[in-house]
A and B are shown apart, each in its own frame.
Chain A
């Protein structure tokens, strides 16, 4: 891929992660903030398919895992976001049919990503919460993501469409 296009995609990922950590804690509900990185990954997967989505998901996830103040085992968000990128990439033809379908995709992906992250924490015994609290966090996170998705998802999808390489890749 062309260097400047990669730069644009990388910039979007970095901005999403920094907004999530440094700005959105103003609006946090019980500490839960909108997962912008997740919306970026879902937009990438819907716009460009699972292959591109998985790469964006891995990069955004690893940045979330490594950027301060993250303290959990690295790779947990990367795994969660790669999995939702695969899912969103699989259903992308449906997800593009209507805004509601896109929103539903974000909701399902939010639920799955936070759940996968939580379960990996339970398996690794890394910052695991009691079940009740965990379900509450997953629920609030889903609501947040559904609230921010209509605002940023169309723009992000248009951006990823535009950064598609002009030449045929096959």
Chain B
């Protein structure tokens, strides 16, 4: 009972962080068709900026300033890089963002070094919020969940309930029309891209605290956010939410399952298949597989449903 409740909480918390990370990616994709390979690097920038700001003027200003700064960097990338490449098609844009991941990793290493930086948690977020049986639930995890939910609500409302959101949505499907109505479409794209990067930056502010702020942090989440976005359906915010929480829960529970394919065969009285071959592969337990399960799901989803759970276009 204790395990189940804790595993659900942990799964949802991790899932929401994943969502915060992948929301920006799926947004920029749905809006601009740009698959931003450097998204995880913006996440890393968010963490490092927050570290730098919080060590001078405190964590709370950093929570606001760092994502803004990342958004500015992102907007700059759109304005000076992607915009001129747009006419050459998506491959050039993809390559640009891919190259960017290396440049950004180098920048971080040159400025802050290769070692993890001591990005300290503010005292208000330290300690535990409540206790389930004997396990404590850190305040910080709850705070992370709160931010993710607020961000989701905010983005959803802006996109569907405000004038700005309407213009953005229109600019995506009918750019010429919106342009002839007097709106600056390139600027809208710049803002959207910057916003997506800013979301990654926000996730970085939190992720850097929850895990470690180090140059490899982008690399460590780079794979998983693509999995989340593809499973959810490229471009679908709802899909990203569902699939991130799903990934969080799967990872949480899979770790606890110590059964292997060989065990399954034994239960079905089919162990004569496995026994003589002595294939070690069959003895791998689900818990050992836990961290690679998301990638397994990615393959399955791509085969069974190429557009993902809620996607509208093929990946």
Do A and B actually bind? no
Query: Residues of B at under 8 Å CB distance from A?
Result: none
Query: Residues of A at under 8 Å CB distance from B?
Result: none
